Structure 1
Amino acid sequence: MAKPVVPASGIIDKTLLNNAAGQCRAFSLLWLCDRIVRPAAIGGALIRMGNFMNSEIVGLPTQRAWGVVFDRVDTLPRHPVQLYEAAAFELIVPLHMGQLLSLSFILAGLFLLLPKAPAGT
């Protein structure tokens, strides 16, 4: 079975390369990240759809109606986790609001989700 492709390393390489190029042209890193996030999300979604067509990265067996039988693996209906991840990548594209605004929402969410320290410690 083929190993899954990890698109994060290519995204990191492009970010570092663009940051180096941006410093030569006086672009900020946040401006470059704003330009990279949409194509990276679309590319990640296309990679996961390719994984679905090649029967790679199959999910757990299921009895649900949306279970998919991957003939290359076995005859059990399985969760199409590749499509779930492709949909998650596609949610990034319209919800992207800029790096500074997103960062404040991430920090606020972490503040609300992390457990509070007990009083007196």
Structure 2
Amino acid sequence: MRLQITRLRGAMVAVVALVCGLVLQVCMAGVAGAAGTAQAPTTATEVPASPSSDVSAAYLSCTVPSGYTYTSVTNTTTCSTSGFAPLYNVVQPRTGLWACTVPRGFTYTATSSTIVCSTSGLSTSYLLRAI
């Protein structure tokens, strides 16, 4: 019973961290745009309303399967029996998605410095475009 409560608490913390990370990434992107940060040109159809606008297709996983990417990662005890391990918000790649990796068959049209793609500081998020 105690182990189940601990795992549930870990999963809840992971979900809250993912949501907070996504909100922070949107805010950081707005600040970068307001500061005049240069980015590669994009069309209106390539830029999503948020880093992960199709949340119905996303799921949490301890690994990222081949052919998929992730939009955020957090540390959790759910994925490990001895300490913290990464928990990924996994999505199928598509044009217009801000993602933490560039999967095979895609390139990127813009980048952004973010804290949601790493569990240990700043990393890069990529605006995907299918090749």
> What range is the shorter-chain TM-score in?
0.3 to 0.5
The TM-score normalised by the length of structure 2 is 0.33
* Larger Rg computed on CA atoms: 1
**Greater strand fraction, Structure 1 or Structure 2:** 2
TM-score, reference length from structure 1: 0.35
Greater relative contact order, per chain length (Cα 8 Å cut-off, separation 6+): 2
